[in-house]
């Protein structure tokens, strides 16, 4: 078996963590059907599917927000809120090693 990359290892360590809290989510029927189908296909729980999708999606989400923020900053360099948002994104990336 191939050795896991550090990203893959971090993901599996996080998923196997015992410090899990219960949350409530409202999802469309279509989304829930997709999640259930993935769970059944891979013989895992809905929770693992949802958590996997969320963790995999955080980096692209931050990339998208950061890119949009940079474009807005170029159009509105005087907007301090945009500069603060860029700083907060940077702190999140550093804190969570994203």
Residue with the larger pLDDT of the pair 16 and 97: 97
Contact between residue 66 and residue 83 where contact means Cβ atoms under 8 Å apart: no
Q: 4: which DSSP letter?
A: P
Q: What confidence score (pLDDT) does residue 7 get? A: 72
pLDDT in tens, 21-54: 788 889 999 999 999 999 999 898 898 889 889 8
Across residues 68-96, what is the average pLDDT?
91
Chain CA centroid to CA 3, Å: 23
Q: How is residue 36 written in tokens?
A: 């259930």
CA atoms within 13 A on the CB side of 23: 10
Q: Residue ranges per domain, the chain?
A: 28-96
Cβ neighbors of 95 (< 8 A, separation 6 or more) are: none
């Amino acid at each position: 078996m191939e050795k896991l990359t550090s990203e893959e290892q971090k993901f599996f360590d996080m998923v196997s963590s015992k410090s899990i809290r219960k949350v409530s989510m409202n999802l469309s029927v279509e989304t829930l059907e997709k999640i259930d189908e993935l769970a059944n296909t891979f013989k895992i729980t809905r929770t693992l599917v949802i958590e996997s999708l969320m963790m995999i999606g955080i980096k692209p989400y931050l990339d998208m927000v950061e890119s949009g923020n940079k474009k807005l900053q170029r159009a509105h360099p005087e907007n301090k809120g945009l500069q603060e948002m860029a700083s907060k994104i940077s702190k999140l990336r550093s804190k969570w090693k994203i």
